[in-house]
């Protein structure tokens, strides 16, 4: 088997493993035309998946919520993810699993139940939502004027490709010279950013929003670390004013881990560098990875008969 064609990434589409550059879906797939898909992303660190079972749990819940049933069961999906990573030979990777609605079996049908659901998966070289050099100086975060889509319209706990509001927030951030954005809801409460959860530190307490946000696996990890370290951490409503007045701010995501912030809008946080508690949580998060915390070793590549 020539693995050289997989160094840029490996994908699984309709039962076939392909170099990432060759992976494609039909333009008539409802996953594309209607953003009718759910997905999840797990990372591989030094040859091991981090919290793979938790990501598969969330993916299953998302599929159930959107009535998506690809032919692969959980065990098969897990095997696909292992093989995608093994094909690339990557030690550090960004690994996605996607369930798409597919195309109607009966031409012209408008019934979601008539569609043939299917699974796409892929492994790519490691991706950071916020680049490492920006993390080192602390990200500059723009508070978008665009409100987050209401939870009652699009359930944020179901990981999906409805990113229109988040992308508009990114436009605003980049137009104003900022690295990324965070969105508030229509009532002025903080939600999340494009691809990450947000945390604030105020008077030694850590807070993260209770609405408009994905129940992130890294978010869960941060809350667990805070409990272990004796830091009070709470999921709570966070008004915009509290974010703007925070002692520290950091983001959390699978694609980057704990990522400190040094500016919120026009306000410089602390001394315009990552805060002490944010930096400590980041250090402990990666230290625990190195110790094997929630680790699942990537299975070696074997030939398919």
Give the helix/strand (H/E) hosting 16.
Answer: strand 16-19
With beta carbons less than 8 A apart as the criterion, state whether 238 and 187 touch: no
pLDDT on residue 304: 63
Domains of the chain as residue ranges with CATH: 4-127 (3.30.470.10), 132-290 (3.20.10.10)
pLDDT on residue 3: 72
* φ, ψ of residue 109 in degrees (nearest 5): -65, 140
**DSSP secondary structure of 125-182:** E---SS-HHHHHH-EEEEE-SSPPPPTTTS-TTS-BS--HHHHHHHHHHHHTT-SEEE
Q: Could you tell me the pTM of the whole model?
A: 0.95
pLDDT on residue 302: 80
Closest CA to 123 of 302, 288, 298: 298
Crossing angle of helices 276-290 and 217-229, rounded to 10°? 100
* φ, ψ of residue 222 in degrees (nearest 5): -60, -45
Query: Digits of tens for pLDDT over the chain (305 positions)?
Result: 567 799 999 999 999 999 999 999 999 999 999 999 999 999 999 999 999 999 999 999 999 999 999 999 999 999 999 999 999 999 999 999 999 999 999 988 999 999 999 999 999 999 999 999 999 999 999 999 999 999 999 999 999 999 999 999 999 999 999 999 999 999 999 999 999 999 999 999 999 999 999 999 999 999 999 999 999 999 999 999 999 999 999 999 999 999 999 999 999 998 999 999 999 999 999 999 999 999 999 999 987 65
């Amino acid at each position: 088997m020539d693995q050289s064609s997989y160094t840029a990434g490996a994908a699984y589409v309709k039962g076939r493993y392909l170099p990432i550059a060759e992976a494609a879906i039909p333009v008539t797939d409802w996953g594309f035309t209607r953003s009718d898909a759910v997905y999840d992303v797990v990372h591989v660190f030094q040859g091991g998946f981090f919290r793979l079972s938790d990501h598969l749990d969330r993916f299953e819940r998302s599929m159930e919520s959107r009535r998506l049933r690809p032919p692969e069961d959980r065990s098969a999906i897990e095997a696909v993810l292992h093989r995608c990573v093994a094909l690339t030979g990557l030690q550090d990777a960004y690994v996605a699993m996607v369930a798409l609605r597919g195309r109607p079996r009966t031409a012209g049908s408008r019934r979601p139940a008539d569609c043939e659901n299917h699974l796409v998966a892929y492994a790519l070289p490691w991706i950071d939502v916020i680049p490492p050099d920006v993390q080192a100086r602390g990200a500059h975060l723009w508070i978008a004027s665009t409100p987050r889509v209401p939870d009652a319209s699009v359930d944020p706990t179901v990981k999906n490709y409805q990113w229109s509001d988040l992308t508009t927030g990114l436009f605003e951030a980049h137009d104003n010279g900022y690295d990324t954005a965070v969105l508030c809801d229509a009532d002025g409460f903080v939600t999340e950013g494009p691809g990450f959860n947000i945390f604030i530190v105020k008077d030694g307490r850590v807070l993260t929003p209770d609405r408009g946000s994905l129940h992130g696996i890294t978010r869960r990890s941060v809350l667990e670390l805070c409990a272990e370290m004796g830091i009070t951490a709470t999921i709570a409503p966070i008004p915009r004013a509290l974010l703007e007045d925070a002692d520290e701010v950091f983001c959390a995501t699978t694609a980057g881990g704990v990522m400190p912030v040094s500016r919120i809008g026009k306000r410089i946080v602390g001394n315009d560098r990552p805060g002490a508690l944010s930096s400590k949580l980041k250090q402990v998060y990666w230290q625990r990875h190195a110790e094997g915390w929630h680790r699942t070793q990537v299975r070696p590549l074997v030939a398919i008969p």
